[in-house]
Structure 1
Amino acid sequence: MVPLPPPSPLPEFVYKITPTTPPDPIPEQYPLSDLDRQDGFVHLSVSWQIPITADLFFKGAISFYVLKLRLANLDPSTVKWDEVDGTNGCPHLYGNFGAQDVVSVREFRRGEGQTWQEALEAEKGWLEY
């Protein structure tokens, strides 16, 4: 991964994709996934990256959940913007988030034969494209 400067302007929201139902209520410290624990940071996405990430890493899934986090709530020194596989600025949180950072949670589903890009097209408002 190559570190990049933060995008300008900064997005208002970043997103965490999870294959399982998030805890309700969201705890003060969100449980880290095995991948996040292994990599040492929380994998996040900006809105336009969600369909790409979903098609790459959740292509076999028919549903997943997305947590919408207000970026301004996170300590800026813990958010790094890294180039991953040629993508521009994937946000990685070197720390954790919790209930105070989560604005909204939503489940997304796709139809048979539908890509995540197609399924998420109608959600641009919530995803803040």
Structure 2
Amino acid sequence: MPTGALRQLMQRKAAQLNLPLGALTNKSPYHSGKDQEDTEAMALFRAGAQIILGRGDRALFWHDCWLPGGLSVPEAAPALASFARLSSITVGQALANNRWVRDIRGGLSAPALAQYLRLWDMVAATSLAPGQQDAVIWCL
């Protein structure tokens, strides 16, 4: 069970979950960006939380940790992410007609192409649950 400051951080971040899950990333307009504390807080939050997809209408495709293993797309495919316009589309929007592919720009390098193919397989294997909201569970 988390103690002290970590428990307070988790409670504070959990209270923010009425915002889109992407509000918890430093790419979000809700992120203050004022100091290192926000970045460290987000790293702790991501280490202790896992996103469980429901409808895919709250988790952000490019920013949130929704992939298997609790990874974000930039963590799973950093070379590919360097070619992507990291938009704020949700996972549900991105999966519809493979819209996420439209965010990729330029000629891909060999590593980015390999990561694209792996990500394609992960996305193709993703199933949404239309009757359920996206959720965050604590892993600590």
- What is the TM-score of this pair, normalised by structure 2? 0.27
Larger helix proportion of the pair: 2
Greater relative contact order (Cα < 8 A, sep 6+): 1
Which structure has the greater CA radius of gyration? 2
Higher strand share: 1
User: What TM-score, normalized to structure 1?
Assistant: 0.29
